[in-house]
Amino acid sequence: MALYLRDLAGVGPYVLPDLPPLVPPVECAGDELDLGAAIREWERWWASMDVRLPGLLPMPRPPDWGGLEDAPTLRALLERRFPEAEAWVQGAKAAAAGRRRSLHLTHFVNGFEQRLGRPVRPFRLWVGEVPVRGSAGWTLDDGHVLVSSELATDESELEAFLAPLIQAVA
């Protein structure tokens, strides 16, 4: 929902993380709001979330619009566009659920043991998938990366992106 609202408000080019637009695309309604206020509110909202826990984050919804209590510009925009926002989010969730993940990353990490000649040290690497345009990945911080849906479905490209990160901690 945060990325949907980012694209709906038209603040994507001005906020971090610097991610491409969503797929399917979201029509910008930026002419309906104060862009400066929307940027500040979205940045504060994003910073308050732990995006590593997507299933545990409440989706802002009526009547309390949880998470957007201190974001009147974004909340008003979402109030006006909630049915289409909710439909987009549900569609994105359904598309992601339809893509079953194999154990290929587990096997990939286990392959490092052979290359290193020792067991891999325990580590945590949270890989979040986001439905954005293109095939790319972004390191947000130690142990936390985002990958586009397109990259997530290309095993060899995903491994090439993750290899240096895993090498550094394994």
- 1-11, pLDDT tens digit by residue? 999 999 999 99
Q: Residue 47 phi/psi, 5° resolution?
A: -65, -25
Instruction: Compare 14 and 58 and report the one with higher pLDDT.
Output: 14
Q: Give the C-alpha separation, 77 to 61, whole Å.
A: 12
Q: Give the C-alpha separation, 43 to 5, whole Å.
A: 12
| Cα-to-chain-centroid distance, residue 20 | 11
3-state secondary structure of 92: helix
pLDDT the model gives residue 93: 86
